[in-house]
Amino acid sequence: MKIGIVCYPTFGGSGVVATELGKALSEKGNIVHFISYAQPARLNVFSDNLYYHEVSVKNYPLFDYPPYETSLTSKLVEIVKFEKLDLIHVHYAIPHASSAVLAKDILKTMDINVPVITTLHGTDITLVGKDPSCKPVINHSINNSDGVTAVSNNLKDDTMNIFEINNEIKVIPNFIDIQKYSSIKKNSYRSKLCQNGEKLLIHTSNFRKVKRIQDVINVFCKIKNEIPSKLIMIGDGPERANIESLARSLCSLKDVVFIGKIPDVENVLFNADLFLLTSEKESFGLSALEAMASSVPIISSNAGGLPELIENGKSGFTCDIGDTEDMYQKSLLLLDEKKSKEFKKNAFERAKKFDMEKILPLYINYYNLILKK
């Protein structure tokens, strides 16, 4: 198949999953064309079957805001026409799905029929999607896609409740390459940071309010008072300055280390004893899956699709949103030397169920189903 993949090029969940999907598809002999305004962060290898097309936006004085959606639509028309794509797979509804649906309509006038598959990832529905300025466009884009997938049952339910959907939504969960995590070798990161044998906790996110990162700091400070510990904060975003200030006031930046965005998060996760994810909205929780693939048990909220991913009491614990006391108490259980080995083993076993080799066939079968319509 010749497949066009449209995604955000960032370290966020939708961009990471889309890029890893495209790379995996190319390894199976499919020809994959990535279309975005910048090279995807995880697109660090190229082969005969992988291509990247940059969407450039003209910055005319007439426009207060560059018309990215128009440029993306035109680029899609161009690539489908000249590369003879079999289908377009867009990740994140705005503006990718709306651009793809418009491109499909334009191509029809040229007697070119190309199906569009839209994958919903979360905030495109639960945050952006609720905005009145976006809702009608998202509704139209979903209903006029040839196929629609969601990364969790929770997200599927949210989509059906928020919008007036007359299209079927198939649930295909996010995935990781378990082999990559299994091959990680011991490194010196932990020994340098935890020189006195402290426990190592990790949080990774885009540092937005919806992640409730203040809860991560509060939980960590309680744990630190009980067990010598260090906390690594991976990622960046609008709330980082506020969270750094909170960490300074409640703990110490010697114990809370902010390392920003990193490409190979698995090399750091491998060293951790516990992963904290306290979001108030989380349609899947890719960062938690990456942690479990590194044999790290999870303390999370019970928001969104997290209970579908984390086996409560086995691979970690899910707690009520904002209940930092319960998160703290459950963290102590996971950090107990006698119990931690079992939780770590369970976390890895759970992650194996979301291995790329198990999820990739679901996408390929779905592609074939849509192409036969």
**pLDDT at 175 (0 to 100):** 95
**Nearest by Cα to 117 from 309, 373, 355:** 373
Question: Residue 371 and residue 116: Cα distance in Å, rounded?
Answer: 10
Closest by Cα among 2, 6, 49 to 27: 49
According to the model, what pLDDT value does residue 188 have?
A: 67
Asked if domains 2-175+355-372 and 179-352 share a fold, the reply is yes
Neighbours of 256 (CB within 10 A): 25
- Residue 192 is predicted with a pLDDT of 81
* The pLDDT value given to residue 93: 85
Going by C-alpha positions, the residue among 322, 324, 325, 297 that lies closest to residue 312 is: 297
pTM above 0.85, yes or no: yes
The pLDDT of residue 232: 95
Q: What is the pLDDT of residue 41?
A: 75
Strand order in the sheet with 256-260: 256-260, 229-234, 199-204, 274-277, 298-301, 316-319
Domain at 2-175+355-372: CATH architecture = 3-Layer(aba) Sandwich (3.40)
Instruction: Quote helix, strand, coil % in the chain, to nearest 5.
Output: 45, 15, 35
For residue 101, what are its two tokens?
Answer: 């649906």
Q: What angle do CA 51, 88, 20 make, to 5 degrees?
A: 55
How far is 289 from 277, CA to CA, in rounded Å? Answer: 11
CATH 3.40.50.2000 matches 179-352: yes
Query: How does pLDDT run along the chain (373 residues), one tens digit per residue?
Result: 999 999 988 767 788 899 999 999 999 999 999 999 888 877 877 778 999 999 998 877 777 777 889 999 999 999 999 999 999 999 988 889 999 999 999 999 999 999 999 999 887 777 777 788 888 999 999 999 999 999 999 999 999 999 999 999 999 999 999 998 887 766 667 878 888 889 999 999 999 999 999 999 999 999 999 999 999 999 999 999 999 999 999 987 789 999 998 878 888 898 899 999 999 999 999 999 999 999 999 999 999 999 999 999 999 999 999 999 999 999 999 999 889 999 999 999 999 999 999 999 999 999 999 999 8
Q: Among candidates 185, 189, 183, 141, which has minimal Cα distance to 166?
A: 141
Q: Which two tokens stand for residue 273?
A: 């004893």
Q: What amino acid is encoded at 331 in this protein?
A: S
Q: Which two three-digit tokens encode residue 32?
A: 């994959």
Q: Which backbone phi and psi does 278 adopt, to 5 degrees?
A: -115, 25
How is the chain split into domains, by residue range? Answer: 2-175+355-372, 179-352
Under DSSP, is residue 187 helix (H, G, I), strand (E, B) or coil? coil
Could you give the CA distance from residue 171 to residue 205 in angstroms, rounded to a whole number?
23
Instruction: State the pLDDT at residue 185.
Output: 67
What does the alpha-carbon distance between residue 220 and residue 317 come to, in Å, rounded to a whole number? 16
Q: What is the pLDDT of residue 11?
A: 66
